[in-house]
Chains A and B, each alone.
Chain A
Amino acid sequence: MPIWNRTFERMERAEMRRLQCERLRNTVELVYGNVPFYRRKFEQMGLTPGDITDLGDLSRLPLTTKADIRDGYPYGMFAVPMREIVRIHSSSGVTTRPIVVGYTANDIMHWTEQVARVLSAAGVTEDDVVQIAFNYGLLTGGFGMHYGAEKLGASVIPVSSGSTERQIQIMEDFQTTALISTPSYALYMISVMDRLGVSPERLCLRVGLFGGEPMSERTRKEIESKLGIVATDNYGASAVMGPGVAGECELRSGLHVNEDHFLVEIIDPETLQVLPEGEQGELVITTLTKEGLPMLRYRTRDVTRIISEPCKCGRTTIRIEPVQKRTDDMIIVRGVNIYPSEIERLLYDIELVEPKYQIVLDRENGLDHLTLNVELSGFMASDQMQRLVGLEETIRQRVHAVIGLTPRVRLVEPKTLHGVGPSDRVVDNRESA
């Protein structure tokens, strides 16, 4: 398995930390001198750039939220004059102001390098024909991946997103070997191929790099089995760069972070305290080489954990687990942070019920209660009442094992929860109580 940049991807840990520390101090100087938002924050906190001497001081730095960046819309957070900006991207932001990202020539060079590493880690080489089905435009996905794939020497097809039938035709005729898209778009392509009667065997596809949204293990397995490819996950956030922040190697056991360019931390989204290594929480990223839009402790709202044991692939960089959820989905019951998606995942493994559920929160005498409505499948293996009572107990125990809270379980008839979507997945009656 080739490693694109052995110097940085296999760097000794102590040396990496020295490099990160030096780059962190440069970034702090840069934002303190050039970004009024950070200057104000430092002054409020009674902090000067000189106070940051080693990586342990990272947690003393202010956090940055999406709202902070939006407040500076469009260029308020840029750290260089506009003449040094060579590219501008932006998040979609329909209802709110978008996040605008500016890149210097050096930023583009580093971005390109990091995407090449992620592609290489996933097994892409100069022999591959890479089809990029991300939107080419204001969003970071298309161009970000494109530059990296070209740098790698692959043959790049900038097909962009949409026109799925043509996309499939191209995939077949151009003998695409690597697909870059969101996981949900890959699933959609599979369904269209099915409808068109295009058998995956007619394709030359062997690897896929999926990003831009969480990819569940179930989705990964489905893509892998239906397309007959290796599906890898990669991670990026527009505010700190775009795709290329981290990506899985062929072992698919966590996403390698490009640590010479990013410092990652995990915090408790409620207390904002840094969590001990290995614990799950919100991913916070500090850029180390960005010039156009440097970020101190940017709160991604993505939930993951850090894996620091070295990977068998030979890279020494730390890894993060694939992001499966966002803090926005989190609910708090009796002080416990709960992600509904965790409950959904455990229901997949329980027979006789569908992974369809609804969470109802009530407050009785000041105490929060969580009721989990779970849909029964259409067939019961037994008509004994104790089986159903046992099923409820199993669900109660498994949920308790995962979230640390015992719910009240209510079995409901099939199709009852058919129309339940993200907006009414959680019914919170606590405020009105």
Chain B
Amino acid sequence: MKVSQLSVFLENKSGRLADVTRALADAKVNIRALSIADTIDYGILRLIVDDPTAAKAALSDAEFTLALTEVLAIEIPDVPGGLAGMIDIFAESGINIEYMYAFVGTTGKNAIVVFRVEKVDDAIAALQKKGVHILSGDELHSL
């Protein structure tokens, strides 16, 4: 149900993002989704990769500051109101969304959105009750 996401602390200076992508390429890790949150001085790069363990090892060898967190990858109908319906479920269940970003791939007619929420297990229960498909790591990686 939960998908591992790797977060990397990056100072805002030229070449740092390239250092991350180069380290991952050298470790033969494929990036499946990414997002960047930033302030003036630094940012956090969030990555979903096909091999989180290899990615973590490669980036800690390169002495990056890392965090490993669990997120939910959810299938959303790729039609107007698709995302709105999903956000409503979270709102109704009183679950706070910390951040979210869209996944690069799709499954048939559906889009995939990555959510980081406060109460992950409550969120899973609420989504399943509504029949929402939450992708597993394997499903995600095989897309």
Contact = CB atoms under 8 A, between A and B. Distances in A.
Does B associate with A? yes
Nearest to B46: A383
Interface of B: 5, 7, 9-11, 16, 37, 39, 41-42, 44, 46, 60, 63-67, 69, 98-99, 116
A378 B67 CA distance: 9
A411 B9 contact: yes
15 contacts: A377-B65, A378-B65, A379-B65, A380-B67, A381-B67, A382-B67, A382-B69, A383-B67, A384-B99, A388-B9, A389-B39, A413-B9, A413-B11, A413-B63, A416-B11
A415 interface: yes
A414 interface: yes
A380 B64 contact: no
A410 B67 CA distance: 19
A385 interface: yes
Given A388-B44, A414-B63, A414-B65, A380 B39 contact: no
A380 B65 contact: yes
B3 to A, nearest CB: 14
Given A388-B9, A389-B39, A376 B98 contact: no
A382 B9 CA distance: 11
A159 interface: no
By secondary structure, the B interface counts as strand
Contacts of B64: 378, 413-414
A33 B39 CA distance: 68
A388 B42 contact: yes
A377 B46 CA distance: 18
B41 A378 contact: no
A412 interface: yes
Contacts of B16: 413
A379 B67 CA distance: 6
By secondary structure, the A interface counts as loop
Contact of B11 (A377, A389, A412): A412
Interface string A403-419: 00000001111111000
Contacts of A416: 11
Most A-side CB within 10 Å, residue of B5, B42, B60: B42
Given A384-B98, A385-B39, A388-B44, A379 B63 contact: no
A380 B9 contact: yes
A411 B67 contact: no
Interface string A360-389: 000000000000000011111111110011
Contacts of B42: 388, 411
A382 B68 CA distance: 8
A411 B65 CA distance: 11
Contacts of A412: 11
Nearest to B59: A378
A204 B54 CA distance: 50
A385 B16 CA distance: 18
Contact of A376 (B5, B7, B9, B46): B9
A176 to B, nearest CB: 42
A383 B7 contact: yes
Contacts of A382: 67, 69
Contact of B65 (A376, A385, A389): A376
Given A413-B65, A414-B64, A383 B44 contact: yes
Interface in A408-433: 410-416
Contacts of A376: 9, 65
B69 A378 contact: no
Contacts of B9: 376, 380, 388, 411, 413
A389 B42 CA distance: 10
Contacts of B99: 384
A425 B66 CA distance: 26
Given A376-B9, A412-B11, A385 B37 contact: yes
B46 A378 contact: no
B65 A383 contact: no
Contacts of B37: 385
A381 to B, nearest CB: 7
A413 B63 CA distance: 8
B60 A378 contact: yes
Contacts of A413: 9-11, 16, 63-65
Contacts of A415: 63
Contact of B44 (A377, A379, A385): A385
A382 B41 CA distance: 18
Contacts of A389: 39
B4 to A, nearest CB: 12
Contacts of A380: 7, 9, 65-67
A383 B47 CA distance: 11
A414 B11 CA distance: 10
A386 to B, nearest CB: 9
The 4 A-B residue pairs with the shortest CB-CB distance, nearest first, are A383-B7, A380-B67, A383-B67, A376-B65
A411 B41 contact: yes
B107 to A, nearest CB: 26
Contacts of B98: 384
Contacts of B11: 411-413, 416
